[in-house]
Amino acid sequence: MPTTRSDYGYFLPITTRWMDNDIYGHVNNVTYYSYFDTVANTYLIEEGKLDIHNGDTIGFVVNSQCTYHAAVTYPDKIQGALRVNRLGNSSVEYGIGIFREGETQAAAEGTFTHVFVDRDNQRPTPIPELLRAALEKLSH
């Protein structure tokens, strides 16, 4: 069964684009990963105050996966939804859903794992306090 909107704590409107559609007339599978990246990083920047340009800590994606339940097509209005499945010392696994406007079940859903590293030495580092507090709000 697909996840539902009630399984998530953060939602972000995402605009589908003409170029997102593939030859079969629906959003191409690889584009969903771009949506995942957009919803997770928007939350990290806006709510967790992650400074992607000058901060000491940056996030590397180390794993992602997606399950597709229903096709999305341009010009569908969609929302990306975010939750935290697992929060470690230096890593977080997100649960992400893609919902078409007005629908309660996810058209696609997946996971996305960030490991936070020191920008200079690129070694894992503890998640900064402000960011951890924001992620804890979404813990499932």
Report the C-alpha gap between 74 and 28 in whole angstroms: 11
Cα angle value 59/65/67 (rounded, 5°): 145
Q: Model's pTM, two decimal places?
A: 0.94
Give the pLDDT confidence of 49-98 residue by residue, as tens digits. Answer: 999 999 999 999 999 999 999 999 999 999 999 999 999 999 999 999 99
CATH code (residue 121): 3.10.129.10
Question: In the chain, how many domains are there?
Answer: 1
Domain range for 98: 5-136
Give the pLDDT confidence of 10-45 residue by residue, as tens digits. Answer: 999 999 999 999 999 999 999 999 999 999 999 999
Q: Which residues on adjacent β-strands are paired with residue 110?
A: 66, 96
